[in-house]
Homo-oligomer: A and B are copies of this chain.
């Protein structure tokens, strides 16, 4: 069926399955910050295990934003998480080269790095580490404090980032381009900008990967899970192949499963039917 599986409109349908970058071990969340401060390994390891078991490809680890403590805290997080889930790669969530350098010494699997952007000093500080360690890296469509307002501006920054990653010898297949999913309730075009940027990435950088941080998108709205999962489905159709999200949100998992089946990536619907038999679509227990 050449018309269906080729041509300018269909580039996004041949991507591999969506990969999940698990978001919950994040020191900007109060409960996690306390666990880091108190070196509460049990709490962190439980979060790590549950997220890994939910099918995450990477576990994001963010040690908070205290510049003095971040290197030690991040290394502690890395070491602690790896005791619980040695097989799951981490995603080192820091813009601090010193913290990243220390954490890279402690990892058992090649980690993803989260993140670079178009800012020259961030590129200069982090790209050499990315290149040296062969890490996948998240690249934000951003080059300053202000979020670029249009898809055109974001795509232009992405072009500059790709130029820099290529100049450092980082293959496009290791770059996860993030068009920035901003809050919909404050900008009705938030999703449109992401969807359009994704389509342009797919067209011009077919080897590169894409990602978004999903959770802030629905901030300020009711029924947030509905909003997030609808946006996620549309973004997968537009070319999204990974996302930073809560893998313990069953509605999000069902959205991924269903969208991939609808898009023909679960040929005999086996993943879907299997997950259904395991109860993923059942209503939650009244007690939960």
Contact = CB atoms under 8 A, between A and B. Distances in A.
Given A227-B261, A283-B283, A196 B3 contact: yes
Given A3-B150, A3-B151, A150-B3, A264 B192 contact: yes
A14 B193 CA distance: 14
Interface string A104-119: 0000000000000000
Given A151-B3, A192-B10, A226 B258 contact: yes
Give chain A's interface secondary structure class: helix
Contacts of A273: 221-222
Nearest to A258: B230
Contacts of A233: 230, 233-234
A193 B254 contact: no
How many copies of the shown chain assemble into the complex? 2
Interface in A130-152: 149-152
A281 B234 contact: no
Interface stretch (A65-73, A168-176, A181-189): A181-189
Interface string A236-254: 0110000000000000001
Contacts of A272: 221-223
Nearest to A153: B3
A152 B3 contact: yes
A125 B227 CA distance: 45
Given A227-B258, A230-B258, A262-B191, A4 B196 contact: yes
Contact count band on A = 35 or more
Interface in A208-233: 221-223, 226-227, 230-231, 233
Contact of A188 (B226, B227, B268): B268
A189 B1 contact: yes
A42 interface: no
Interface string A3-18: 1110101100100000
A151 to B, nearest CB: 5
A175 to B, nearest CB: 21
Given A13-B192, A188-B268, A223-B276, A231 B151 contact: no
A259 interface: yes
5 contacts: A185-B269, A191-B264, A222-B276, A226-B254, A234-B263
